[in-house]
Amino acid sequence: MKIACVSTEMSPIAKVGGLADVSFGLSKEIMTQGHDICVILPNYASLKTSYLDSFEPYPTDLEITFSKKKHQILVWAGKLCGLTLFFIDSKAPSSFFQTDQIYGKQNDGQRFSFFSLAALKFIEQCHPTVDIIHINEWQTALIAPLYKEQACRKSSAKIMTTIHNLNYQGILSTSVLNKVGLSKKSTQLKCLDLKKHNKVNLLKSAIVYSDFITTVSPRYADEITTPGQGMGLDKIILENKRKIKGILNGIDYEVWNPKSDSALAEHYQLNHTQPKALCKKFIQKLLNMPLESRTPLVICICRLVPQKGISMIKSAISHVLKMGGQFILFGSSPIPKIQEDFDQLKLQLQDNPSAKLIFDSYNEELAHQLYAGADMIICPSIFEPCGLTQLISLRYGTVPIVRLTGGLANTVFDINSSSKANGFTYLEPTSPALKKTLGRAFNLYHHEPKKWKKLIHSGMKMDFSWKKSAQEYLKIFHRLIKKSTK
């Protein structure tokens, strides 16, 4: 099978959040299972090309009309762990991606619409026999109507969209459709936002036009059909429910492996977890924290955005310290007000060596060291499509404490209520509920070391690798192709 995946993130060369891990892990597993897959990305100035095995210009003579102007498309080809990647931009001076940021520019709508149009042109011209075009999030959603509305389509690929987070929909001025040449009234009507009728909603357009849609956990697939979590798209999702499925994300078991992780001071594995204590000591030393082996070390690794439960994170920090634990918060906020609040909190805690707030938006090595060194991780999300930090923590023997929502509810099972117990869970999105759960975790850690060890083991034993999830994706791809050849 031939698959072209179009994404705006790829781990580790262009990572903002979980989308990068998924683009890399899923594509690599699909390749490992014997399929021909390439990934198409924007050619960001900030690409960490040192991770690539090769990176060179890919000669083409592609040209597109975007915003009534002709653009010559520049393509580079690269290899990453055997995966074929293509990187796209417009020729200077109209380059869209030679800036320092992946997201957050004022013209994001324009940049990613250009990318969608250019990526589709590239696929059709250079890979005309692909069976599946796999698009991700609103940034590449326009590919669905662009492909389906062509007057004389030469290929017969199927379009699969994956929704990683419904919170981001790409609600833009309708002029964006004219810019990419989708000027037919009937098309524009299909792409209109359901609330703001003078705007288009790119994610909605992908839901309407795609042959199939996945989202990143079964629980989230159900949640987004409700007004509470549907973010205004619940009705359209319900209407299209027959072509939507939740498939749990995996993690890359080569990248995330405490047995061989090159970022770690010591290696460990299931049935030989003692060296994890040395990873804890390493991180305590690195961050100038008291070197206490029996003090619970709690971490939180996330983008500091409302979805992640900002007020609960704050109260968890003070509660952990009050209970005599250590806390490391690692992440940063794209929202200035939230970042200022946390800067303030960091200032207040500067004399407390048991609390470390590290505002680095991306440091892969430190992330690995934290997962290995911690005893517990908190994920108090208000909503969480899948969540990867709890999966990585389970792999590293770090016990997750999570709110029962989305993928967190599909992967973490409470010690009190499940035979598959691997962590602690709670339902109410409130600080008291989280504090109570932290209290239960501390109690078990201090007073029932055997049970604690068992919890670590049952988490490490679980399999959240990409293998099974990739097979589910492939099953859908096969079904879609079979339908079209009937």
# chain residues binding ligand ADP, by CB under 6 A = 19
Q: Is 303 in the site for ligand ADP (CB under 6 A)?
A: yes
Tally the C-alpha atoms within 13 A of residue 364's C-alpha that lie toward its C-beta. 17
Name the residue nearer to ligand ADP (CB basis): 116 or 389: 389
User: Three-class SS of residue 442?
Assistant: helix
Q: Is 313 in the site for ligand ADP (CB under 6 A)?
A: no
Q: Is 140 in the site for ligand ADP (CB under 6 A)?
A: no
Name the residue nearer to ligand ADP (CB basis): 118 or 313: 313
Q: What is the dihedral of CA 5, 6, 10, 13, to 10 degrees?
A: 120
Q: Judged by CB under 6 A, which of 6, 75, 302, 481 binds ligand ADP?
A: 302
Q: Judged by CB under 6 A, which of 98, 350, 363, 443 binds ligand ADP?
A: 363
Whose CA is closest to 295, among 277, 313, 282? 277
Q: Phi and psi dihedrals of 391, rounded to 5?
A: -70, -45
Region from 187-195, 272-280, 301-309, 422-430 binding ligand ADP, contact rule CB under 6 A: 301-309
Q: Is 150 in the site for ligand ADP (CB under 6 A)?
A: no
User: Three-class SS of residue 243?
Assistant: helix
Region from 14-22, 29-37, 259-267, 432-440 binding ligand ADP, contact rule CB under 6 A: 14-22
| C-beta of residue 129 within 8 angstroms of C-beta of residue 481 | no
Q: How far apart are CA 458 and CA 447, in angstroms?
A: 19
Instruction: Report the nearest approach of ligand ADP to the CB of residue 122 (Å).
Output: 26
- Find residue 65's DSSP bridge partners: 70
Region from 17-25, 68-76, 82-90, 217-225 binding ligand ADP, contact rule CB under 6 A: 17-25
Region from 277-285, 382-390, 447-455, 467-475 binding ligand ADP, contact rule CB under 6 A: 382-390
Q: Judged by CB under 6 A, which of 13, 73, 182, 301 binds ligand ADP?
A: 301
- Find residue 158's DSSP bridge partners: 132
Q: Binding string, 257-296, against ligand ADP, x = CB under 6 A?
A: ----------------------------------------
Gyration radius from the chain CA atoms? 23
Q: Is 360 in the site for ligand ADP (CB under 6 A)?
A: yes
Q: Judged by CB under 6 A, which of 51, 103, 282, 362 binds ligand ADP?
A: 362
Beta-sheet strand order (sheet of 326-330): 355-358, 326-330, 297-301, 376-379, 399-403, 424-426
Q: Is 18 in the site for ligand ADP (CB under 6 A)?
A: yes
User: Three-class SS of residue 98?
Assistant: coil
* Strand bridging mode 212-215 / 199-201: unpaired
Whose CA is closest to 225, among 215, 235, 214? 235
Q: How far apart are CA 247 and CA 22, in angstroms?
A: 12
Q: How far apart are CA 76 and CA 56, in angstroms?
A: 5
Instruction: Report the nearest approach of ligand ADP to the CB of residue 251 (Å).
Output: 8
Name the residue nearer to ligand ADP (CB basis): 313 or 392: 392
- Find residue 120's DSSP bridge partners: none
Looking at 417-465, list the stretches that DSSP marks H as alpha helix, in order from N- to C-terminal side: 431-447, 449-461
Q: Which residue is nearest to ligand ADP (CB)?
A: 18
Other Cβ atoms less than 10 A from the Cβ of 211: the count is: 22
- Residues contacting residue 125 through CB under 8 Å, at least 6 positions apart: 60, 62
The H helix count followed by the E strand count for the chain is 17, 18
Q: Judged by CB under 6 A, which of 150, 352, 361, 484 binds ligand ADP?
A: 361
Q: What is the dihedral of CA 38, 472, 248, 115, to 10 degrees?
A: 30
Name the residue nearer to ligand ADP (CB basis): 17 or 258: 17
Q: Is 367 in the site for ligand ADP (CB under 6 A)?
A: yes
Instruction: Report the nearest approach of ligand ADP to the CB of residue 125 (Å).
Output: 32
Instruction: Report the nearest approach of ligand ADP to the CB of residue 306 (Å).
Output: 12
Region from 207-215, 220-228, 267-275, 386-394 binding ligand ADP, contact rule CB under 6 A: 386-394
Instruction: Report the nearest approach of ligand ADP to the CB of residue 446 (Å).
Output: 28
Q: Is 21 in the site for ligand ADP (CB under 6 A)?
A: yes
Q: Is 25 in the site for ligand ADP (CB under 6 A)?
A: no
Q: Is 387 in the site for ligand ADP (CB under 6 A)?
A: yes
Residues within the interface to ligand ADP (CB under 6 A): 17-18, 21, 301-303, 330-331, 360-364, 367, 386-389, 392
